[in-house]
A and B are shown apart, each in its own frame.
Chain A
């Protein structure tokens, strides 16, 4: 598998789309968290009455894992988009055929893409862990792994996003169609999760 991943790395390492999207992701994660952090420090902590915006300190240890995971999760669109582009590229350039002609089996072609998606999800999660550590340290609270499971949820979301991206691009085989379907899917998915969220609140109220 390492051999296959090395070949995959040759394909993407000098691809502009790969460099752009991964750096946008890393930059976006750090920047968004910094915006919230600065807003908390410079506005919420100083202006009377604005405390209702935040209950507690989002970047203190314990809370930092959940906060950073949550704010960063909006950028998971980018690695998934990268997966869509990488796979539809293979179809556009017909290199999926060429890879097989050159001696890969069909399952090797698929396996390495799934492995790439997992690696990308793990790399995204590492960015989140690093960002959490930085902002946690900035907040001046002592280190704690309590609440670290939220990073696990982030990893799960990253994996599922990338897998859905693979599925959609394999089914549509065209980058434009795949990207459109993927965005419609994410909007739909967010809508459903919002609905479930409000439904659960309502159900809790009824139980009370």
Chain B
């Protein structure tokens, strides 16, 4: 895991994301295998230097945000002067003296992030950090994570929200049923292909008044790899050098006017489905 990266851990529900993070944070015992933090295996002191949000926000319900963070700071052996700063960073400063059990889910999540930020740790571990937040909150936290990354922090983030990983992370590991499927930079994962055929392909969805005719014409077009009839449109897989404009022009030249033309960007979602689908399929 490279220093200074935002490392995303992706996987379907129940694939072992939280279990993995639980093991490296020593709340769960591994049945086999080892891990080390920056070369250290003794992790009691290591954990104090890592900011972690694992699964749910865990705080004393009857204490205020400030008191809860005081406990966390004391355990981490950090000073208390940081508490106001981290509360401001997550927009909780106005409610700092309210008891934890009066907080909404989103506010609890914010407090958990604040707790992870205590003491300005070099490594941050976030397990589904945007869980329970409103859209504005999600955007805020993403910006916060990107900000932290710019300051050179190493961030490990588990999520099943692909969009989030795609937008935020630099590296990604995909796990399924506890098995590591792939690990590399987001760019590499998005462009590589598992089943070997056509490394970089363009997917275009199109339809015309007469789909049969369209299909016949497209079959003769060079660069078309695969044609699929889906409902009332055609799904065309083309070589990398083909663009939607070229397809449009080709069809028009051959006397077919398209009623729909949609170039699908190959997203992390399709890659994710390809990678995880192989195992279950």
Q: Complex: how many Å from CA A95 to CA B57?
A: 9
Residues of B within 8 A of A99 (CB): 75
29 contacts across the A-B interface (CB closer than 8 A):
A3-B74, A6-B74, A7-B71, A7-B75, A10-B70, A10-B71, A11-B60, A11-B63, A11-B71, A14-B62, A14-B67, A15-B60, A93-B59, A94-B56, A94-B58, A98-B59, A100-B27, A100-B47, A101-B25, A101-B27, A101-B47, A102-B72, A102-B75, A103-B45, A103-B47, A103-B48, A104-B44, A104-B75, A106-B26
Smallest distance from the beta carbon of A41 to chain B beta carbons, Å?
43
Nearest A residue to B75 by beta-carbon distance?
A102
Q: Which residues of A contact B75 (CB under 8 A)?
A: 7, 99, 102-104
Q: Taking beta carbons and an 8 Å cutoff, which residues of B are in contact with A?
A: 25-27, 44-45, 47-48, 52, 54, 56, 58-63, 67, 70-72, 74-77, 115
- Asked if A55 is at the interface of the complex by the 8 Å CB criterion, the answer is no
Q: In angstroms, how far is the closest chain B Cβ from the Cβ of A66?
A: 39
> Contacts A10-B70, A10-B74, A105-B44 given: A100-B61 contact, CB under 8 Å?
no
Which residues of chain A come closer than 8 Å to B59, judged between CB atoms?
Answer: 93, 95, 98
Q: Which residues of B contact A102 (CB under 8 A)?
A: 47-48, 52, 72, 75-76, 115
Cα distance, A189 to B187, chains bound together (Å):
67
> Which residues in A have their C-beta under 8 angstroms from that of B72?
98, 102
Contacts of B44 in A (CB 8 A): 103-105
Question: Whole-angstrom distance between the alpha carbons of A24 and B74 in the complex?
Answer: 30
Given the complex, which residues of B lie within 8 Å of A89, measured CB to CB?
60
Task: Give bound CA distance, A20 to B196, whole Å.
Answer: 69
* A97 interfacial by beta-carbon distance below 8 Å: yes
Query: Which single residue of chain B is at the shortest CB-CB distance from A18?
Result: B62
Q: Whose C-beta in chain B lies nearest to the C-beta of A89?
A: B60
Nearest chain B CB to A31 CB, angstrom units: 27
A15 to B60, CA, bound (A): 10
Chain B residues contacting A98 (CB-CB under 8 Å) are 54, 58-59, 72
Closest to A97 in B: B27
Bound together, the chains give a CA A108 to CA B48 distance in angstroms of 14
Complex Cα spacing A3 to B25, Å: 22
